[in-house]
Structure 1
Amino acid sequence: MKKYFQSTVYILFVLVTFFALAKSFMVYKNPLNFYENPLVWLALIGFVLVVVAKEMVNVLATTKAKELQNEKDGVVPEPPKDWIKLLLKSWTDSKDIENEQEIILDHNYDGIKELDNSLPPWWKYMFYASIVFAIVYLIRFEVLDGDSQIVEYDKAVAEAKAALNTYKATATDLITADNIILLTDATDLNRGRAVFNLNCASCHLSDGGGSIGPNLTDEYWILGGGIKNVFNTLLNGGRDGKGMISWKNTLKPADMAKVASYVISLQGTTPAVGKDPQGEKWETTAVETTETKEVIE
């Protein structure tokens, strides 16, 4: 009775799990995506484990029953063959200990004798492979004058730079010091002011008058004025050792563009306490004036 009960439970489990998996494969868009449907994987693994375990139990039970029957009948089974030893012997072509007299070499060193066993096949085949590799390498790089590793590296770098330039030329949302333009929209400037007050006011004061950092309201700039230079300073930082840090790992390019535009908008304003000018006077170029007019229009 117990045997029939176990078989019935096993059959029901297999049928229910099978139909549940079949239903999930028909309903879910990506049923094998573990992050979206972990229960599908748990059911599948459980199904396989139960089937494998059941078959292993059957094999063990059959084997045990056969052993008991042989013992009852007085049949002595042949000892199982050691397949690992047979496999290793076929690979190495070595002699057994009782047959080693056949491969003992003639020379003798103070009673020490040497066997003439064959080399392991894995060693021989690796040696043959190294010879083939050496021939191919010689022909490839010496006879046919193939590219060296340095040349291949230079070509890969050149291809990567070309791909990067193509991406920069075609990307619509990529902001760099080369393509940045002055933003004059009130929404952009308000965002720039907010980011400035959060990150820059501690050194430049909220009105741009300057404290630790220089005055941003006058015409004098340490690293150059204009939208491109201001953006580049935000991107790469100021002077080594004593200038502003780089903000490229903190601010997004879009926010840096808005901060730079807000800083340019501070030109000509009157701070409460303005710091003395630093750097050189910046003259706005005709190109910058044209770009600003185009943005405003």
Structure 2
Amino acid sequence: MKKYIQSIVSFIFVFSMPFLLVEVTKAYNEPYNFLENPLVWVLILFFGLVVVFKEVLAVTAIKKAEKLQMEKDGVVPEKVDPWAAIKAIIQRWTNSKPIEQEGEIALDHNYDGIRELDNSLPPWWKYMFYASIVFAVVYLVRFEVLDGDNQIVEYEKAVAQAQAEINKFKKSSPDIIDLENVTLLTEASDLSRGKAVFNLNCASCHMADGGGSIGPNLTDENWILGGGIKNVFATVSNGGRDGKGMVAWKKILKPIDVQKVASYVLSLQGTTPAKAKAPQGEVWKEEAK
């Protein structure tokens, strides 16, 4: 009767514990954060320890029953090889002969007392060899006969698919600004924001009126890295010339702010700064579309 009671209690505990854990985890926003919710992990660990303890008892009971059965059958438990099953698997997959039976496969070849054994190939090696043949046939038919895509074509298709998904995402998210879809902003609110960003980050090198100081003059028609919204947007985002240009602002400014400051810079074209720096670069004219 005692065994039945223990089994019933064990079954109820193991059966109901997962439901309890589910209910507990549903009560927290981050149930698996140990620092905030240690109770969840205490219950999980307790449940795991109980299950492990139960399995250890079951294995111990099985071994004890097997030992009693062997003693009843007249088998000495100490003489039973616990690795017999594993050794049988190794023997089956290597097809090797025990040392006591090597005389059966010894060849007549004798080299200074060293004799050669006529061992057969292990089954695992033969199966792998057969599998490689099957793979080679499938590969030959797939890529040579049926003209399947090679690695380069697969890569190009994957890149094209990824680009298509990126373009689809950009269309569904109009707030994402990059070099492909950036446009010149002319609204007063956008230029006002661009001016604020310019005064905070750019005026120290280009002067507040864009006349230039450490950086070039932004009011003339000459550009070092090209004019127009796309070129200015790219220059602000990626920085100037290596080693002697401005830093890349894309890690500091949001793309929308880069667009606004680039639009503000272009709005300075034709103005008259107090101390204009000499032109640098080449005169840039936008190509007719």
Q: 1:150 to 1:97 in 2, by over 3 A?
A: same
Q: Could you tell me how far 1:46 is from its partner in structure 2?
A: 2.4
The aligned counterpart of 1:91 is 93
Aligned to 1:49: 49
Paired residues for 1:95-244 under 5 Å: 95-244=97-246
Residue 293 (structure 1) aligns with? none
**Correspondence for 1:294:** none
1:120–1:45 distance in 2 versus 1, CA, 3 Å: farther
SS of residue matched to 1:233? helix
Q: Tell me if 1:25 matches 2:27.
A: no
TM-score, normalising length: structure 2: 0.75
Listed one character per residue, the Cα deviations across residues 86-140 of structure 1 (whole Å, up to 9, x for unaligned) are 2211222222211111111122222111112232222111111111111122222
CA deviations 1:128-183 (Å, max 9, x no partner) are 11111111222222333333323333333343444444444554122133432333
Which letter maps to 1:126?
Answer: M
The alpha-carbon distance between structure 1 residues 106 and 68, as it changes in their structure 2 partners (threshold 3 A), is closer
Report the TM-score, using the length of structure 1 for normalisation.
Answer: 0.73
Task: Give the corresponding residue for 1:278.
Answer: 280
Contact 1:189 1:259 in 2 (8 A): yes
Deviation at 1:245, TM superposition (A): 3.7
Determine the C-alpha separation between the residues in 2 that align with 1:268 and 1:148: 56
- The count of residues paired between Structure 1 and Structure 2 equals 278
Query: Which residue in the other structure is 1:34 paired with?
Result: 32
* 2:115 alignment partner, SS class: strand
2:116 counterpart SS class = strand
Partner SS state of residue 279, structure 2:
coil
Query: How much does 1:240 deviate?
Result: 4.6
Decide which moves more: 54-63 or 175-184: 54-63
Q: Take 1:80 and 1:32, find their aligned partners in 2: how far apart are those partners?
A: 52
Offset at 1:66? 8.6
- C-alpha distance 32-118 of structure 1, shift in aligned 2 (>3 A): farther
Task: Name which of structure 1's ranges 137-146 and 51-60 shifts more when overlaid on structure 2.
Answer: 51-60
Kept after mapping to 1: 8 A contact 2:107/2:117: yes
Instruction: Provide the C-alpha distance between the structure 2 equivalents of 1:225 and 1:75, rounded to a whole number of angstroms.
Output: 95
Residues 262-294 of structure 1: CA deviation (Å, up to 9, x unaligned): 22233444444321222344568899xxxxxxx
1:203-240 Cα shifts (integer Å, max 9, x gaps): 21233221121112334333333333321222343345
8 Å contact kept, 2:21–2:44 = no
Residue 141 to residue 51, structure 1, CA distance change in 2 (3 Å): closer
Matches within 5 A, 1:261-276: 261-276=263-278
User: What is the identity, as a one-letter code, of the residue corresponding to 1:201?
Assistant: A
Q: Which residue number in structure 2 is paired with residue 290 of structure 1?
A: none
For 1:47 and 1:200, locate their aligned partners in 2 and report how far apart those are by CA, in whole Å: 61
Give the structure 2 partner of residue 248 of structure 1: 250
Where do 5+ consecutive residues of structure 2 fail to align?
none
User: Residues 206, 79 of structure 1: CA spacing in aligned structure 2 closer, same or farther, 3 A cutoff?
Assistant: farther
The amino acid across from 1:44 in the alignment is I
